[in-house]
Amino acid sequence: MAPTLSTAQFADPAEVTEFVVNKGNGVKGLSETGIKALPDQYIQPFEERLINKFVNETDEAIPVIDMSDPDEHKVAEAICDAAEKWGFFQVINHGVPLDVLENVKAATHRFFNLPVEEKSKYTKENSLSTNVRFGTSFSPRAEKALEWKDYLSLFFVSEAEAEQFWPDVCKNEALEYMNKSKTMVRKLLEYLGKNLNVKELDETKESLFMGSIRVNLNYYPICPNPDLTVGVGRHSDVSSLTILLQDQIGGLHVRSLSSGNWVHVPPVPGSFVINIGDAMQILSNGRYKSVEHRVLANGSNNRISVPIFVNPKPESVIGPLPEVVAKGEEPIYKDVVYSDYVRYFFKKAHDGKKTVDFAKI
């Protein structure tokens, strides 16, 4: 049987890289050629493929917290408890209007449905701003195996900068999503802070916990042989907090701290998935946990997600908060400049929880 164009076209790894990475087609473009077999450079190592087989073997579930409960003390307690025991939780009735969420999901589809020539204006080589980046996988130059995901990353500097450089098809929706979720983010940080003896989220603390913000639009196209690859490999986030909006497809899994099992985070309509990032783990001196998570590739559906990464300012020095070590608790992390920490994270492939060791004493 003669090979179809697509299998012949992508037999050579260099051609795949050229098409996906350099020409800006992304894995979405690859998926849309109708390829029937996963190209070799997407095949993950044995241990990752093994996890794919065992992800749904548990009935554990991350907490779902109703933020509209009038008993605010109870809400705060549930959030801090989840941050310590799971590092992940979902929130419902969070006060962010649902149409804002629907709009940013629609805008994500609009961006990824643009012709390649349009999207390519935002690749590392072409983008007019270093704060706007259309790319694929995680760190294609550092990875042994690529991940089945395309993304648009938007680092917020100012409304004016966003107005000028963010893509027209999604900028208003992404900005509105970011701005309308701020009250909820402050609330979460207040609850988490109070439990660490941080009396109030003053300007200094606000700049430390949420001094910079990045919004990513993620696209996970239909994948041939999804069991051989991943949408996103095992990693923990470098943020203080990550706020994730996901669609109804599913595929995000979190590693249970108590059992080590991989636990699915089922899509709950109108919810956010919140997780603690490495910066918060360091600031809390290990009380709050930044937990490994990964995303499966999907053989039958395209999936999108829209995370907001709430981070310290790049120039912030992060280490265990004075409020935490005041009571004689031994610091387990040293002070590091946040931008150095992030640079270290992006220099290597996704490798589970190894980044945080960079800050260990």
CA dist 111 and 171 (Å) reads 10
Q: State pLDDT tens for residues 18-65.
A: 888 878 899 999 999 988 889 888 889 888 888 887 777 788 999 999
Residue-level pLDDT at 17:
83
What confidence score (pLDDT) does residue 138 get?
Answer: 54
The token pair at 24 is: 């800006």
Q: pLDDT category, 343, cuts 50, 70, 90? A: confident
C-alpha dist (Å) from residue 292 to 98, 107, 206, 253, 344: 28, 28, 25, 9, 17
| pLDDT per position as a tens digit, 295-309 | 999 999 999 999 999
Q: Is the pLDDT of residue 272 over 90?
A: yes
CA 178 to chain centroid, in Å, comes to: 15
Fold of 60-359: Jelly Rolls (2.60.120)
Please determine, for residue 237, whether its predicted confidence score (pLDDT) is greater than 80.
Answer: yes
Which residue ranges make up each domain of the chain?
60-359
Burial class of 121 by CB neighbour count within 10 A (0 to 12, 13 to 18, 19+) = middle
